[in-house]
Amino acid sequence: MTGEKEILGTCPVDRGLTRVGDRWSMLVLRDVERGLTRYEQLRTSLGIAPNILSRRLAALTEAGLLKKRRYSQRPPRDEYVLTDAGCDFLPILMAIGAWGRKYNGAGALSQHFDVKTGGVVRPVVVDANTGAPIGSRPLRFEYPD
C-alpha cells in the first residue's frame, strides 16, 4: 500500500496546500483566530454556503488544524478551536495578508495591532537560523535522497 507521504510527493508546499489550499479554508482559520468559533458565526461572517462550510470544517478538523469543543449538551452543539497546527498556520495567514495589502491594497483594509505595544503588526518571514528575511538572499533547493 502506498503511504500518504508518497502520494503527496516530496514538496512541503504541496503537502501544506493539500490541507489548507483553498480560500474558504484559510478564511475559516482566520475567523476562528478572531474568535468566531461557532458554525453560525462563521457562516454569517463568511457569507458561505452551509454545505461548503460544513465540508471545510470537517476537512480542517480531519487535517488537525481545528478541533471540536462541545459548548452545549442540549441541543448538542460544538464550536471549533485552533489546534497547535492551526496556531502554527497563523503566521502564514499574516504573511498572505501582508502580501495582499502590498499588492492588492487599494481602499480601506483591516489591520492587526499588537495588544501590548499598540503598534500595527508588520509580518515578515525570516530564516530562524540567520534572521535574514526570506527572499533577501539566494537559496538552494535540494530533493531528498
* Of 40, 119, 23, 126, residue with least CA distance to 79: 40
pLDDT at 6: 54
Report residue 86 as a C-alpha cell: 492551526
**Better-predicted residue by pLDDT, 5 or 50:** 50
Q: Which residues pair with 67 in a beta bridge?
A: 81
Work out the average pLDDT over 107-133. Answer: 94
Tell me the per-residue pLDDT of 45-82, one tens digit each, with 9 for 90 and over.
999 999 999 999 999 999 999 999 999 999 999 999 99
Report residue 80 as a C-alpha cell: 471549533
pLDDT at residue 8 is higher than 80: no
Decide if 83 contacts 65 (C-beta within 8 A): yes
pLDDT at 138: 95
Tell me the per-residue pLDDT of 102-117, one tens digit each, with 9 for 90 and over.
999 888 999 999 999 9
Tell me the per-residue pLDDT of 86-100, one tens digit each, with 9 for 90 and over.
999 999 999 999 999
Output the pTM of the full model: 0.87
Work out the average pLDDT over 23-36. Answer: 97
The C-alpha cell 531528498 sits at 144
Mean pLDDT (the chain) is 92
pLDDT at residue 144 is higher than 70: yes
Q: Strands, DSSP E only, in the chain?
A: 66-72, 77-82
Query: What percentage of the chain exceeds 90 in pLDDT?
Result: 80
pLDDT at residue 12 is higher than 50: yes
